[in-house]
Structure 1
Amino acid sequence: MKREIQALKAENRRLASESADLTAIKRIIHNVDVQVANPPAWLTGSAPKGKLVHGVPTLMLSDLHFGETVFSNQVNGVNQYNTTIAKRRLRRVVDGSIKLLRHTLAPGQFGGMVVILGGDMVDGVIHDELRDTADETVMQSVITLHDELVPGLKALCDEFGKLHVPCVAGNHGRLDRKPRMKNGPALNFDFLLYQFLARTIHADPKYRDRITFQIPDGFDASYRVYGTRYMLTHGDSFKGGSGITGPLLPWMRGDAKTRKQYGALGMPYDVLVMGHWHQLRYLGQIIVNGCLVGFNEYAMKSRFDYEPPMQALWLTHPVRGLTFQESVFADDPKALNEAPWVSVKAAA
């Protein structure tokens, strides 16, 4: 009994110390009124009045890998990446999403926008080769990306009236090389970035009540747009993908297990949204985002499919659910081929 009591006291002291550390961290970075659980009322309320209501657009930003360097000569010249290119691509995605929605779907009303921050926002420190070749330290990358995302989010808010920003942490931003389940998101540079973004934006009276953040303490974020229930996760918990079907089976198996789990918890969802896999796919009840970093040396060595850097953009209609599923390309288009767009060989 004495040994058991001593062990329990030691465990209690350890937990108290850990709780105090987390409290101190949150006191530093949580010095802001952040909505971390409940989406705003406008997302789940009635649609705005108007003759043509398109619904609420969602732009997903994930796998930005700020800080990573991709060397052109190591990927057969199909891609190059560094902080300068990353900033240019991110700005093009923000501008491109506005143009796609405003020009392609004009006229019409949207009634706000969801901007997902889906993890792997910075390159991180989990691999030595990434640290050795990065053009910024991870701390510098957090600052750089913060300074890019703040005006980007404000520009989208100015365009669409109000924003809701659900956030989840990825695997690249974790502090430990081995994944950590306890307090995993809070020990991640993505989490730190999200808190700084919320702090900066909510310090501006113009945007304080117009941009809300959903920053969970866990690995997933659940929210609803009108009648469509979304479950956001980074995607690194789904394993496999080396077979002839690629990652399709891991996605389907992971979605089935996640639906079963959340159904048992009384939190069923309609659409699973994730990043991590660097391949943009719309699969009905599953949405997988692309990436900003593009094709890199790891993808080359692993024989992954080539895909240009792009991010996902879709609409949630108040009645029809998911509509208008598009890709926002992060690079400028290549010069057009001057040859005729169609040719017919003359009969002999």
Structure 2
Amino acid sequence: MKKGKFVASEADRALFVAAAEAVAAAVREGHPPPGVRVRNDAVGAIRRAAASAGVAVNTMRHRYRRAVELGLDGPVREAASERRAQVSDGAPDNPAGRVTQAQREQALRDEVARLKADLTAALREGNEQDAILALVGRMAKHDPVPPAWLTESRTSGRQGPVTPEVPVVMWSDWHFGEKVCPDDVNGANAYDTDIARRRIDRLLASTCDICHNHGPGNYPGIVIPLMGDFISGGLHPELLRTDEEGRIPSALSVIDILCGALTRMADEFGRVFCPAVPGNHGRNTMRPEYKGYVHTNFDWLIYQLVARWFDARGDDRVKFLIPMSGDALFRVFSTRFLATHGDMLGVRGGDGIIGALGPITRGEIKMRGQSQSLGRSYDYLLIGHWHQMFWGPRVIVANALKGFDEYAGKALRAVPSTPSQPLFFVHPRRGITSRWEITLEDVQQGEVTEWVSVAA
């Protein structure tokens, strides 16, 4: 590559200049400059500069190469000329950069310092996780027992001994902080923090309306599985560039929203039970990490802080199940549910015809087999992640509150769907009875003339 072809940012340019100066200093010490053959018992200038800077040799070599491409290697050329002049004038030389005892000791001290820094960083990461646990003030490794009202059958006075049902509404894939531009999706959707708040308010109001005016009534409480991906989290570079809010401001906003929303549900239904699992957008790592997964996930932190808020207020109407495994197993009467976000089903991608139906079905089969082998059998798998509503014989998939986005439109060529969240009722003997899709935007329909009509 010719000089001047590479374009560097100011920050990178400063690194390359520093690398050239470090190599020049090593040349002045007598170490062979880059391009000069190094004897077996000698240390080249780049290796010496890397040890002094506490970075890997390849890192120093890369930075110096960039310095050469940008024409920033002047100090090295000057140092090499000075060194050649000194040798020709009879100045004592360190032949071919042969390592002296003092240099050997200094290199060891530099290596020890680098290793200490790496160890400190590793310990600090572990301490941060411990600090989070201390901050939320909860024993996160303990899975609490679901409240008794979930499994106790009670009777009401309506038309004799009638056992009330339990409503279950899944809150999933809010992606708070993300922006969806309507022009990018042909007007099929728009999304920002204001729209998110409006849809959440409609979700709460519609849940109460359906349960109180169209459901069986006389509820012992309500179950609200929190299915993850509550924040956008800047998971991809384009999200980092376009998100309306960063992950920390978004997390704070969601904490406030959940505290208010769950309080409202407790006021309406008396008691609330929240199995809570993390999603992939909440993670704080570039790629999924499976050891201590929840401790690097903002969804988990959100749940812990919301639970702590209710504890601090002495409000025991809202209970949480926040398992370390990320899979929440619970029971409503005699029906068993396993809630997980849906990104770790052990399967990948669908196809252009059946979409996500294939991986969802295969993933449920794998989840069922593993759960049975662990003694954690379930009747229904509850997942989100796939951004579409699907009622299967053994799986219920929640749609996204965010709705249709640019990825679904361009990469998947998916059919747009109205943003929604699922609601269903569980009976102690009949299991799941009525199922509702709570739409969060008005569905566009033609003119309504008669309550029923026949096409001409």
Contact 2:167 2:425 in 1 (8 A): yes
- Among candidates 57, 60, 63, match of residue 173 of structure 2: 63
Is residue 141–residue 324 contact of structure 2 (8 Å, CA) maintained in 1?
Answer: no
Amino-acid identity (%): 39
The separation in 1 between residues aligned to 2:362 and 2:225, in whole angstroms, is 23
Match of 1:211 in 2: 318
Helix, strand or coil at the partner of 2:232: coil
Q: Is the 8 A contact 1:167 1:194 kept in 2?
A: yes
Change over 3 Å in CA distance of 1:13–1:175 after alignment to 2: closer
Deviation beyond 6 Å, 4+ runs, structure 1: 12-18, 32-35
Number of the residue aligned with 2:342? 235
Output the TM-score relative to the length of structure 2: 0.68
Higher strand residue share: 1
Pick 1 or 2: higher relative contact order, CA cutoff 8 A, min separation 6: 1
Q: Could you tell me which residue of structure 2 aligns to residue 264 of structure 1?
A: 373
CA–CA separation in structure 2 for the residues paired with 1:50 and 1:182? 51
Residues 250-297 of structure 1: CA deviation (Å, up to 9, x unaligned):
111111111111111111111100000011111121100001110000
**Are the structure 2 counterparts of residues 133 and 43 from structure 1 closer, same or farther at C-alpha, using a change threshold of 3 Å?**
same
Displacement after TM superposition at 1:140 (Å): 1.0
Aligned to 2:327: 220
SS at 2:145's partner residue? Answer: coil
Deviates more, 1:243-252 or 1:85-94: 243-252
Deviates more, 1:27-36 or 1:262-271: 27-36
Distance apart, 1:80 and its partner CA: 0.4
Q: Please name the residue that 2:272 is paired with.
A: 163
- Checking the alignment, whether the CA contact within 8 Å between 2:274 and 2:321 is kept in structure 1 is yes
For residue 220 of structure 2, the aligned residue among 111, 119, 130 is 111
Deviation at 1:45, TM superposition (A): 2.1
CA contact (8 A) 2:142 2:323 kept: no
Q: Determine whether 1:53 maps to 2:163.
A: yes
CA contact (8 A) 2:140 2:323 kept: no
| RMSD of equivalent CA atoms | 2.5
TM-score (norm 1): 0.89
Query: Across the two proteins, how many residue pairs are aligned to each other?
Result: 333
Q: What is the deviation of 1:72?
A: 0.5
Cα deviation, 1:125-149, whole Å, max 9, x if unaligned, reads 2211111111111111111111112
**CA shift at 1:339, angstroms?**
4.8
C-alpha displacement of 1:241: 1.3
Structure with the higher fraction of residues in helix conformation:
2
Deviates more, 1:62-71 or 1:330-339: 330-339
Q: 1:88-127 counterparts in 2 under 5 A?
A: 88-105=198-215, 108-127=217-236
Gap regions ≥5 residues in structure 1? 1-9
SS at match of 1:231: strand
Partner of 2:421: 311
Distance in 1 (CA, whole Å) between partners of 2:455 and 2:192 is: 45
CA deviation vs aligned residue, 1:202-235 (integer Å, no higher than 9, x gap):
2223xx2211011111121101111011000100
Which structure would you say has the larger Rg?
2
- Mapped pair 1:130 → 2:239: yes
CA distance in 2, matches of 1:13, 1:45: 52
Q: Quick one: distance in 2 between partners of 1:274 and 1:78? A: 24
The one-letter code of the counterpart of 1:29 is: V
Call closer, same or farther: CA 1:285–1:85 in 2, change over 3 Å: same
